[in-house]
Amino acid sequence: DVKVTQSSRYLVKRTGEKVFLECVQDMDHENMFWYRQDPGLGLRLIYFSYDVKMKEKGDIPEGYSVSREKKERFSLILESASTNQTSMYLCASSLWRGHEQFFGPGTRLTVL
Amino acid sequence: KQEVTQIPAALSVPEGENLVLNCSFTDSAIYNLQWFRQDPGKGLTSLLLIQSSQREQTSGRLNASLDKSSGRSTLYIAASQPGDSATYLCAVRRGTSYDKVIFGPGTSLSVIP
């Protein structure tokens, strides 16, 4: 079974802090994704990566950056957290472009 | 621009009923469509993936159909159980050159024992 894990289930940070969200997949998938999910707005794509050291902006990249130094790990970075970044963050991976996506359990981030 | 809608937004049924969840999309030029379930506060679990060349996919009590020409997909759940209570989302992929998936808002299903 594909397994996608995220470093934290719940996280509370203060405004202005630098925040790292980690995602690891164990199935040698090429593609990895970061989404945020908000009530009434659904899932929105922040960034995705086709391969190591490659990244592409999604719909809402502002205020975020990503890092993919190893194939299995995709990190989402909030350089200076703000209250409007309070959300559920979901990581996903897929074997190749167009293949089905598998999601991690999510990280609920609260920025105070 | 592709838009994905799901009706109804919420559904409550007694245990044992067969039910249908609907997903509509505006652009029929899709690559595939995926159905997920999401339990409260959790991530998404993949249920079924239908490629654009397929008409339906089945897994256990679940059957998903795809009609590209009408821009619709349905998820049929047979003999519903309380454990089926969750939010069900459909997601439409536009193609492989740009790996972008458009998610529907979801249908919240409650199966009453």
Tens digits of residue pLDDT in A4-55 = 999 999 999 999 999 999 999 998 999 999 999 998 888 999 999 988 988 9
Least CB-CB distance to A45: which of B43, B96, B100? B100
A32 Cβ neighbours under 8 A, 6+ residues apart? A23, A25, A48, A49, A68, A74, A91, A92, A93
B45 in contact with A, Cβ within 8 Å = yes
CB–CB of A92 and B44 under 8 A?
Answer: yes
B91 in contact with A, Cβ within 8 Å = yes
Sheet holding B19-25, edge to edge: B4-7, B19-25, B72-77, B62-67, B56-59
pLDDT value at position A96? 79
Which residues of chain A neighbour B34 with C-beta distances below 8 Å? 100-101
- The stretches in chain B having pLDDT less than 50 are none
Q: Nearest residue of B to residue A31 by CA position?
A: B99
A107 in contact with B, Cβ within 8 Å = no
| Cβ neighbourhood burial of A39 (10 Å; 0-12, 13-18, 19+) | exposed
CA distance B21 to B9: 10
Alpha carbon B31 to chain centroid, angstroms = 15
Question: How many other CB atoms are there within 10 angstroms of residue A92's CB atom?
Answer: 26
Q: What is the percent of chain A with per-residue pLDDT over 90, rounded to a whole number?
A: 79
Question: How many other CB atoms are there within 10 angstroms of residue A61's CB atom?
Answer: 15
pLDDT value at position B13? 96
Q: How far is CA A90 from CA A7, A44, A106, B56, B74, in A?
A: 11, 10, 5, 28, 25
Question: How many other CB atoms are there within 10 angstroms of residue B45's CB atom?
Answer: 13
pLDDT value at position A74? 97
Strand pairing of B86-93 and B101-103?
A: antiparallel
* Interval A73-102 mean pLDDT: 92
Which residues of chain A neighbour B33 with C-beta distances below 8 Å? none
